[in-house]
Amino acid sequence: MSRLSHQDLRRNFRQLLASRTCYHTASVFDPMSARIAADLGFEVGILGGSVASLQVLGAPDFALITLSEFAEQATRIGRVAQLPVIADADHGYGNALNVMRTIVELERAGVAALTIEDTLLPAQFGRKSTDLITVAEGVGKIRAALEARVDKDMAIIARTNAGILPIQEIISRTKHYQAAGADGICMVGVQDFDQLEQIAEHLSVPLMLVTYGNPALRDDKRLAELGVRVTIDGHGAYFAAIKATYDSLREQRQIFTQASDLNATELTHTYTQPEEYIRWAKEFMSVKE
């Protein structure tokens, strides 16, 4: 059976970006899920940072996973993947120099594309996890990523949060990232088509949206007309796996009380124990002078 190489998959993703179609990603988190997604005909997959944290650490999405742990999981997927996989590389695991290391490791792992976001991570104590770095620092990270890349077919996508800034600031940020050479712009928090149209009007690179199934953005034809080539609806497959594991083991133990009938969100909260991390943050990160 013929297999596609990493370079083949990167070229396929480039063709996807150059098309006039909007594609939906499959959430892939291990080799088996990558094989399933490809077999079902998905054109592209994504390895989410939050999902990798759950899969590798059983920890909440508090920027706890390290580059080496994330790259190892990406490598496992890259060994078998027969669809292009986008890696959610968070903030590049540090400053611009860390971003360069991130590019080297994830390119070696075989991903077809990766996103570098301008979120201030890890979040400082008492601050929101949506705080952003300066545009200048964000531009520096994109330029560093492009410098570190060896295979020019691997796409470097700049990501920002469109849900927390005035529209003119979003436009300014995305224009700067485009000018820095990003192969695409990824946005989370776009509310509706009116907002998307105002942003897209100023951009010429392909767009990627993290929609989490936002019903106000469920028109693939219109998305495609505005330059959106990839949408990420969420990571339902992994959370369904958590629920299935819980139900299977609960049945094995013959536990059928009403209190144990938790949904996937409740299960994730229960077993990642975020309250512990919040307590530790208060104890060790709250600086008292």
* Binding-site residues from annotation for Mg(2+): 88
Helix 167-179, helix 193-200: angle, nearest 10: 40
Known binding residues for substrate are: 50, 159, 235
Binding residues: 50, 88, 159, 235
Closest CA relative to residue 142, chosen from 171, 167, 117: 117
- Asked if 43 contacts 21 with a C-beta cutoff of 8 angstroms, the reply is no
Block residue for tokens 């400082």 = 124
DSSP assignment of 28-72? --SHHHHHHHHHTT-S-EEE-HHHHHHHHH---SSS-S-HHHHHH
Q: Sheet with 85-88: list strands edge to edge.
A: 23-24, 228-232, 207-210, 184-188, 155-161, 113-117, 85-88, 45-47, 26-27
**Angle subtended by helix axes 49-57 and 236-252, to nearest 10:** 30
Nearest to 116 by CA among 137, 150, 141: 141
d(CA 26, CA 246): 22
Strands 113-117 and 23-24: unpaired
Residue 168: helix, strand or coil by DSSP?
helix
Question: Contact, 229 vs 208, CB < 8 A?
Answer: yes
